[in-house]
Each structure stands twice: as structure tokens, then as C-alpha cells.
A and B are shown apart, each in its own frame.
Chain A
Amino acid sequence: DIQMTQSPSSLSASIGDRVTITCRTSQIVRTYVNWYQQKPGKAPNLLIWTTSNLHSGVPSRFSGSGSGTDFTLTITSLQPEDSATYYCQQSYTTPITFGQGTRLEIK
């Protein structure tokens, strides 16, 4: 199985900050990395698909990049509503796997 290692596992940042979350895959997954946001008690929401494509309706302060085995989710100009847990996912092969999550707290 492809392991997805996210870092950090949690972080705290201020409104207006730039935040970066990384995801390292245990094997090459081409561009098949997706990013999700989940708020407590809610279903996840897709943010980024295949590394860098912004899902419909997602604010442009979210962006994704990466290649090989290292991928990044960046949030520029952090907003209060960005407080959530973020997950990366590889959809290159089954079993599809998720990272363990990064909890983002707004100071």
C-alpha cells in the first residue's frame, strides 16, 4: 500500500498568514494527489484535485503543487473559516490512501 505522510500533524497560525502543509508518498503517484478540508461534524470537502487543480467554488487562496513523492497544500492569507483538518489522498492506485490529517488552528 502507498503510505501518505503528512506534516505537520497540527499547526497554529494567525489571520493573514501563509500556511503550508506537506504530504510525502511512499511511492511515485504521478500527479494523483488530492486535498480535502474537513470541519468538525461535517463531511470532507474537496479543495484540490490531481496536485494543483482548484475544485469549483474553492477560494483562490488555496493552491497545490508537487511532483514525484512530495506534495504541498498552501493557504495564502489565512481566514477564520480555514480552521479545519486537512487531508491529502493518493488516487493513483488502490487501495486509495489518505494522510493522517493536519489540524489547523487559528490563533
Chain B
Amino acid sequence: EVHLVESGGGLVQPGGSLRLSCAASGFSLSDYWMQWVRQSPGKGLMWVSRLSGDGSDAAYADSVRGRFTVSRDNAKNTLYLEMNSLRDEDTAVYYCGRGCFSNSGGCVGYWGQGTLVTVSS
């Protein structure tokens, strides 16, 4: 059974950093594209980043490019999102997701439960 568990969220001051983790089970991370999607309180879904199975192809939303870095540790079967220079507008629940099928770089077939990041002084 596919299972994704995010962790690492919390309260951070503007300009600070956080690293989110997404522990995967039930499949091998190296076989799938992975995504990060966020949702600000009361708002809709916003795509943040994606990473290919072999880690060679990463993409970011304009609003986070240069501040966020997605990576993976296939040995630990864990996806990461390193977030630097955090802003108030980065406050959101962050979800990790697995591609619908092995070569799917956009469709999210499985989602974690989300982790809340609050950026506030």
C-alpha cells in the first residue's frame, strides 16, 4: 500500500529556513516523479515543485525558485523540500505527492496528509 508521511513543518520567522521531509512506503521513490503542492489557509491548491525519479529533472514555481530546493534520498525512500528565505506568503499546508504512474510528471495519484508551515514573527 502506498503511504506518504510529511514532517518538518512548524513556526518560523520571516527570512528563516525549514526542511520538509516526505517518507514514502509501498513503492520505490526512484520509480516515480514526486511533487510538492501547497495550500494557504482557506485558499486553493498551488503547485510548488517536482522531481524526477532519478533526481535529474527538477522544476519550481516562479514564486519559490531560488529559495526552495527539492531533493530525494532513494536509499531512505524520502523526498525533501529545503525552504530558505521564507516569507509570510509561504504559510501553507505542504503536501507531497507521487505521480499517477511511473512516467507521470504532473498528475498526483497519491498524497500525504500534509504538514503546516507558518511563517510569522
Binding site for B on A (CB under 8 A): 1, 32, 34, 36, 38, 43-46, 49-50, 55, 87, 89-92, 94-101
**Can you list 16 A-B pairs with a CB-CB distance of less than 8 A?**
A32-B106, A34-B106, A36-B108, A43-B95, A43-B111, A43-B114, A46-B100, A49-B100, A49-B109, A55-B109, A87-B45, A89-B106, A91-B106, A94-B59, A95-B47, A101-B45
Interface residues on B, range: 20 to 34
Establish whether residues B112 and A94, one from each chain, have CB atoms under 8 Å apart when the complex forms.
Answer: no
The residues of B with any CB-CB pair to A shorter than 8 Å are: 35, 37, 44-47, 50, 59-62, 95, 100, 104-114
Which 9 A-B pairs give the minimum distances between C-beta atoms? A91-B106, A43-B111, A96-B47, A94-B59, A98-B45, A101-B44, A49-B107, A34-B107, A49-B100
Most buried by A among B104, B105, B108, B112: B108
Chain B residues near A45 (CB-CB < 8 A) = 111
| In the bound complex, CA of A55 to CA of B104 (Å) | 14
In the complex, the chain A residue whose C-beta lies closest to that of B108 is A46
Q: Do most interface residues of chain B lie in helix, strand or loop, or is the interface mixed?
A: strand
Q: Which residue of B lies closest to A6 (CB)?
A: B44
Known interface pairs A43-B113, A46-B100; A100-B106 also in contact (CB < 8 Å): no
Complex contacts, B111 vs chain A, CB 8 Å? 43-45
Contact of A96 among B50, B95, B113 (CB under 8 A): B50
Q: Are B59 and A95 in touch, CB under 8 angstroms?
A: yes
Q: Check A36–B106 contact: CB distance below 8 A.
A: no
Q: Please state if A46 and B105 are interface contacts (CB–CB under 8 Å).
A: no
- Find chain A residues with CB under 8 A from B104 CB: 49, 91
B107, A94: Cβ atoms under 8 Å?
no
| Complex CA distance for A90 and B105, rounded to whole angstroms | 11
Q: Are A36 and B109 in contact (CB under 8 A)?
A: no
